[in-house]
């Protein structure tokens, strides 16, 4: 009789395959010496944000890199 009962809430795992593929590719690039500084912005389950930046000697350039990322995400292209 309980076999016909369906749950009201379905537990799902968010699709983060793109995030994993991006991080793996960038890790390969960093290991190959192609990437020197990294700034990360991640959205967590629940809607909170997390940020991180690798160590760098140029904090102004690091801040500009993160601002440029935001501008690109808004749809503006780099020349």
As a whole number, the mean pLDDT across the chain is 84
Q: What's residue 79's pLDDT?
A: 61
DSSP state letters, 7-51: -SS-------HHHHHHHHHHHHHHHTT-----EEEEEPTTS-EEE
Kindly report the pTM of this predicted structure. 0.64
- Three-state secondary structure call for residue 74: coil
Where do the domains of the chain lie?
A: 37-79
Share of the chain above pLDDT 90, in %: 29
pLDDT in tens, 30-47: 999 999 888 888 989 888
pLDDT at 25: 97
């Amino acid at each position: 009789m309980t076999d016909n009962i369906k749950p009201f809430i379905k537990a799902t795992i968010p699709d983060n395959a793109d995030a994993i593929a991006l991080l793996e590719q960038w890790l390969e690039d960093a290991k190959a010496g192609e990437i020197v500084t990294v700034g990360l912005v991640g959205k967590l389950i629940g809607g909170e944000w997390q940020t991180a930046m690798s160590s760098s000697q140029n904090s102004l350039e690091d801040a500009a890199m993160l601002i440029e990322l935001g501008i690109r995400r808004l749809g503006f292209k780099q020349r």
